[in-house]
Amino acid sequence: MTTFSKGLEGIVAAETAISYIDGTNGILEYVGIPIGELASKSTFEETVFLLWNQRLPTKGELAAFTTDLRARYELPEGMLERIAAAPTDAEPMHVLRTMVSALSMFDPNPNENTVEAARDKALNILAWTPSIVAAFDRNRRGLAPVAPDTSLGFSANFLYMLNDTKPTDAMIRAFDICMITHADHGLNNSTFTARVIISTLSDMYSAITGAIGSLRGPLHGGANEGVMKMLNEIDSVADAEAYVMGKFERKERIMGFGHRVYKAKDPRATELMSLAKQLADDTGNSDLYEKSHAIEQIMDREVAAKGIYPNVDFYSATTYHCIGLKLDLFTPMFALSRIAGWAGHVIEQLGDNRLFRPTVNYVGPHNVPYVPIDER
Ligand code: ACO
């Protein structure tokens, strides 16, 4: 018995205890905890522990986990030189993908796939990737990399390494909320990619590298950059209507809207919407929020009946801009967070693995005679 579903829509391809999505009612839970609860009460470190252990840590466990993560912030020797060798006009997502792949060469046992080894590799990758993004961005600006500060948490340390100044508490918290809300999301395309790769018993680095490649596509995590470009193309709130309707006439998509699973507003968009408004007001970017809000209202009127609502990328664009991030760092930010989810799924897959190997409907010809090259 075979079933064909273009884009694998409606196909259940794995079981997970990590995150749950109810697309009809707009619910997302990590290990049963609603995303809104985590966004308002948790930290990124605690959320990672939750995703990797399927329970919240005790005080002692969280302290130990955080200490362990911070102790790993420093990149392996030789990595900074590799980052510096990247062309300064390369896209950060290509650099990140390449450098995560390169990390495997510094691991004496890159192919070890016990659950314990996979967790260890995941913690290293999580600790190192902020340094990769920050060092590359500084390098292309002609600035020396900033060494990580182990007294700082994940979010604060990243912003510090990027800007060489200690971020404000408000910026740290905003960034942490972004990291929490982007950390996992069922069997999305990049997570599926990671699970497919590890199902061959390949290795953690290959799985995360492949997932980064998937995430950067404009139909997936790359949409946050598309949203920002759109907001920049709209001069004022008054122009939003003509802009959106023009896109519909040309049959173009509005980035940051629509989702394979959600047919209601993505709960992450709800969380990020209030964060974006607050940050936009605080940083003199209210126009970005106002334009976004206007687009949402037009989309609501035009396509909500088709189940097209804002997704996570819509308000994350304004949020990242207000945090002071350059446009081409938006998708890398998504990746820094989603590494938590990818790694959790890799560990879960390793715990009960079966090779992914779907079939394909062959639609080409049969029994075609071979024509020698001189006769073609
Ligand atoms: N703008 C306008 N119309 C849209 C949009 C959109 N953003 N998204 C879907 N539609 C329409 C399609 O044109 C199609 O209409 P039709 O049936 O009249 O032809 C219908 O909705 C269904 O679209 P599909 O592409 O079949 O839906 P699918 O589930 O395959 O796509 C996707 C989901 C790729 C996310 C899509 O909604 C999209 O392209 N959105 C814009 C890109 C984006 O924001 N991606 C981020 C998703 S969240 C994430 O990955 C982190």
Within a 10 A sphere around the Cβ of 328, how many other Cβ atoms?
15
2 pLDDT band (50/70/90 cuts)? Answer: confident
Tell me which CATH code domain 1-356 carries.
Answer: 1.10.580.10
Smallest Cα–Cα separation from 148: which of 34, 214, 72? 72
> What is the rounded average pLDDT of the residues 99-116?
97
Give the pLDDT mean for 319-329: 96
Q: % helix / strand / coil in the chain, to the nearest 5? A: 60, 5, 35
Q: How far is the CA of 230 from the centre of ligand 1 (A)?
A: 16
Cα angle 36-40-45, degrees, rounded to a multiple of 5: 100
Asked if residues 314 and 181 have their Cβ atoms less than 8 Å apart, the reply is no
Nearest CA to ligand 1 atom 10: 258
Compute the average pLDDT of residues 93-99.
98
Say if residue 1's pLDDT is above 80. Answer: no
Confidence tier at 194 by pLDDT (50, 70, 90):
very high
- How far apart CA 265 and CA 291 sit, in angstroms, is 18
Catalytic residue among 182, 184, 313, 345: 313
| pLDDT tens string 341-362 | 999 999 999 999 999 999 999 9
Query: To the nearest whole percent, how much of the chain has pLDDT over 70?
Result: 100
pLDDT tens digit string along 175-190? 999 999 999 999 999 9
Mean pLDDT, residues 50-79 taken together: 98
Ligand 1: nearest atom to the Cα of 251: 13
Q: Is the dihedral of CA 324, 326, 332, 334 positive or negative?
A: positive
Distance (Å, whole) CA 164 – CA 143: 10
3-class SS at 234? Answer: coil
Rounded to the nearest 5 degrees, what angle is found at the Cα of 122, between the Cα atoms of 119 and 127? 125
Q: How many CB atoms lie within 10 A of CB 106?
A: 16
* Of residues 289, 293, 273, the one with CA closest to residue 281: 289
Q: Which residue has the tokens 């408004």?
A: 277
Q: Per the structure block, which two tokens stand in for 182? A: 């982007």
d(CA 256, CA 310): 6
Nearest CA to ligand 1 atom 20: 306
| pLDDT value, residue 56 | 98
Cβ atoms of 221 and 313 within 8 Å: the answer is: yes
Residue nearest to atom 13 of ligand 1 (CA): 253
User: Among 331, 322, 294, 332, which Cα is nearest to 310's?
Assistant: 294
The answer, yes or no, to whether any atom of ligand 1 lies below 6 A from the CB of 341, is: no
> How would residue 159 be classed by pLDDT, with cut points 50, 70 and 90?
very high
Residue with tokens 């071979």: 370
272 Cβ below 6 A of ligand 1: no
| 11/280 Cα distance (integer angstroms) | 40
Instruction: Tell which atom from ligand 1 comes closest to the C-alpha of 258.
Output: 37
Mean pLDDT over all residues of the chain?
97
Distance CA 272, CA 16 (A): 25
Number of neighbours of residue 365 by Cβ within 10 angstroms: 6
Please state the atom number of ligand 1 nearest to the C-alpha of residue 311: 48
Handedness of CA 157, 159, 160, 165 (dihedral sign): negative
Catalytic-residue membership of 220: yes
- How would residue 104 be classed by pLDDT, with cut points 50, 70 and 90? very high
| Per-residue model confidence as pLDDT tens digits over 256-305 | 999 999 999 999 999 999 999 999 999 999 999 999 999 999 999 999 99
Question: How is the chain split into domains, by residue range?
Answer: 1-356
Model confidence over 247-269: pLDDT tens digits?
999 999 999 999 999 999 999 99
pLDDT in tens, 66-76: 999 999 999 99
